[in-house]
Amino acid sequence: MTYDPENPQDFIDAEKIWNHIDAANNPAPDRVREVLAKAAEMKGLSLEEAAVLLACEDPRLDDEIFATAKRVKESIYGNRMVLFAPLYITNECSNCCSYCGFNATNKELTRRTLTMDEIKDEVRVLEDQGHKRLLLVYGEHPRFGAEWMKETVEAVYATQSEKSGEIRRVNINCAPLSVDGFKTLASAGIGTYQCFQETYHRETYAKVHLKGKKADFLWRLHAMHRAMAGGIDDVGMGALFGLFDHRFELLALLAHAQQLEADTGVGPHTISFPRIEPALGSEMSTNPPDVITDHRFKKIVAITRLAVPYTGLIMSTRENGELRRELMELGVSQMSAGSRTYPGAYSDPEYDRPEVQQFCLGDNRSLDEVIREMAENGFTPSWCTACYRKGRTGDHFMGLAKQGFIQEFCIPNALLTLREYLSDYASPETRAAGEALLAKSEETMAQRKCGKEFSKLLKRVTDGERDLY
């Protein structure tokens, strides 16, 4: 299906989704276990099966859902966790999303759009912390088109810090563009294009998007299709949990992923789970319509891991450190760290100014602290961008992921990037924790097919070479 402006189709069949929700009500334990047995085969779940897991309210069965998600996560992704930082380019926005601090009607917010030089200053700070992957975030404003966004991406790639840091993959979170606009973005060499539908429930969508271009539900719904038509191979979707019934949102999100795969041959590269956080000037953000408890949130992540086992799942610093730890085990494969959510925040000496930021953060730790804790808990942080730079994107990446590629290639590559991080950026405490993890991992790698090649590459990185994979 392509986006036809004359006749845009709504491929989210709300009636079918409600039927699944109603039919799944209070499922028998045997049915839940049957679905979990299928999920354990890592072939994904249908909407009907995902609805059964969502409807389960028995705490013992919930534990079984979590245990199955953990097993699937471990066998596909191992202990690796991809890290990135968001970089806010502009908080100017002409839309009126009632949950967001950047809302055009919010007069308390100080508006700022970074110049190309200011972008470079921010990038240098992030590079000096050890970041290699950034997610650029933009408000939507008629003054900022695809050409300007392309320039901002190019400014990021062109910036090298004194410590020879470099950004190797730039992902984008911006409002939907036309196919031509996406072609322009693609020509800047972006990685993933990310855009969240916020809510798949049309009446709720209309209520929370009062004005501006974002009020057009179908324009947004077809954004991923247009991005792929514009030559962007990796796209990321999501819903803003809290706006409407989480069961409807999750099933609709999975239906969106299925539709994209049916139409283009490849599903989303990533799925994100923003959960509403208090935002300046937004009353509804402090009292969201659907209450997403931590337990519910964990179930949403675990069920998604089982439903789309080969799709990357992203968690932001909206959530606190303790919950993020649990979510890592349940299915998350990428997370942001050391994040700041307003333009200019990384080079702001008076950081933590609520009058400019998008929403409150749950995890304010630095990248170094996050890495230390991950290493202590046996997780391997990864800044690897090899697939993207070798052209292994879209369906090509998905095919490889399904053949156990992540274990054989992504894990050793992750360890090489960890070696770089420990040598170039880590504090003494983090270096000690990371070295212990590396030493242990080297023993495991020695048993693998790629063991010899890995130890040669590791030695070269230890001796000072960079960006090997």
The residues that touch ligand SF4, with contacts defined as CB under 6 A, are 93, 95, 97, 100, 102-103, 139-140, 175, 214
Say whether residue 285 binds ligand SAM (CB under 6 A): yes
**Residue (76 or 276) nearer to ligand SAM, CB:** 276
Task: List the Cα angle 107/147/173 in 5-degree steps.
Answer: 55
Residue 16: exposed, middle, or buried by beta-carbon count in 10 A (0-12, 13-18, 19+)?
Answer: middle
Please name the residue that has the structure tokens 């929403």: 359
CA 114 to each of CA 91, 119, 279: distance values in angstroms, whole numbers, following the listed order: 9, 6, 21
Picked from ligand SAM, ligand SF4, none, the partner binding residue 103 (CB below 5 to 8 A depending on kind) is ligand SF4
How many Cβ atoms sit within 10 Å of the Cβ of residue 119?
Answer: 24
Q: Are 407 and 445 in contact (CB under 8 A)?
A: no
**Residue (175 or 266) nearer to ligand SF4, CB:** 175
**Residue (97 or 188) nearer to ligand SAM, CB:** 97
**Residue (11 or 359) nearer to ligand SF4, CB:** 359
Closest separation between CB of residue 184 and ligand SAM, Å?
A: 17
Closest separation between CB of residue 82 and ligand SAM, Å?
A: 19
Touching ligand SAM, residues 399-428 (CB under 6 A):
none
Total count of residues recorded for the chain: 469
Say whether residue 196 binds ligand SAM (CB under 6 A): yes
Say whether residue 85 binds ligand SAM (CB under 6 A): no
**Residue (8 or 362) nearer to ligand SAM, CB:** 362
Touching ligand SAM, residues 108-137 (CB under 6 A):
137
Determine the size of the site formed for ligand SAM (CB under 6 A).
22
List all residues 6 or more positions away from 123 whose beta carbon is below 8 Å from its beta carbon.
87, 134, 155, 156, 159, 161, 167
Closest separation between CB of residue 426 and ligand SF4, Å?
A: 34
List all residues 6 or more positions away from 196 whose beta carbon is below 8 Å from its beta carbon.
237, 238, 239, 240, 272, 274
Q: Are 405 and 395 in contact (CB under 8 A)?
A: no
Q: Are 209 and 215 in contact (CB under 8 A)?
A: yes
Say whether residue 99 binds ligand SAM (CB under 6 A): yes
**Residue (244 or 421) nearer to ligand SF4, CB:** 244
Say whether residue 241 binds ligand SAM (CB under 6 A): no
Q: Give me the residues that bind ligand SAM (CB under 6 A), please.
A: 99-100, 102, 137-140, 173-175, 195-196, 198, 240, 274, 276-277, 279, 285, 318, 358-359
